[in-house]
């Protein structure tokens, strides 16, 4: 295995661990890693405000020195997050700065974009962690 591939694998795994630890802090009712690839990296469930369950598909990306304004994702990833019956949450881990960002990719006119889509991201700090926890638990009923 060459050094570039090894560094990439380490970045990806560190991003996954950062995301999983963060999600655990939000106290979900469950976190599942699908046994086979179906798109999302994780499925996370939260008890909602009406006593039901909100399920979220989580896509995790990792990089070094992430821009604090936006993140470039593939069109395929965008389509998965924005157009699935399970709502999508994008978590981006800056593994150099030990910082997490999030986004709920909204629907955009994809006829105006190429193979990649720029998604606005938001840093996760104490206040955004609290609002994110509340958003994941709000009932859509």
**Cβ distance 136 to 26 under 8 Å?**
yes
Read off the pLDDT of residues 115-140 as tens digits, 9 standing for 90 and up: 899 999 999 999 999 999 999 998 66
3-state secondary structure 80-125: HHHCCCCCEEEEEEECCCCEEEEECCCCCCHHHCCCEEEEECEECC
Whole-prediction pTM: 0.89
Q: What pLDDT, in 10s, does the model give residues 53-109? A: 999 999 999 999 998 899 999 999 999 999 899 999 999 999 999 999 999 988 666
Query: Are 23 and 42 contacting, i.e. CB atoms less than 8 angstroms apart?
Result: yes
Q: What pLDDT score does 70 carry?
A: 93
Q: In this structure, which CATH number among 1.20.1740.10, 3.40.1350.10, 3.40.50.2300, 3.30.43.10 belongs to the domain 3-137? A: 3.40.1350.10
């Amino acid at each position: 295995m060459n050094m570039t591939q090894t560094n990439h694998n380490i970045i990806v795994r560190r991003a996954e661990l950062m995301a999983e630890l963060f999600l655990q802090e939000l106290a979900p009712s469950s976190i599942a890693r699908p046994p086979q690839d179906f798109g999302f990296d994780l499925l996370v469930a939260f008890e909602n405000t009406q006593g039901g369950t909100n399920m979220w598909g989580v896509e995790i990306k990792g990089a070094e020195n992430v821009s604090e304004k936006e993140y470039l994702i593939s069109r395929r990833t965008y389509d998965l997050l924005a157009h699935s019956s399970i709502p999508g949450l994008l978590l981006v881990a800056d593994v150099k700065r030990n910082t997490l960002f999030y986004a709920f990719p909204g629907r955009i006119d994809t006829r105006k974009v190429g193979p990649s889509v720029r998604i606005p991201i938001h840093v996760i700090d104490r206040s955004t962690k609290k609002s994110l926890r509340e958003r994941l638990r709000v009932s859509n009923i």
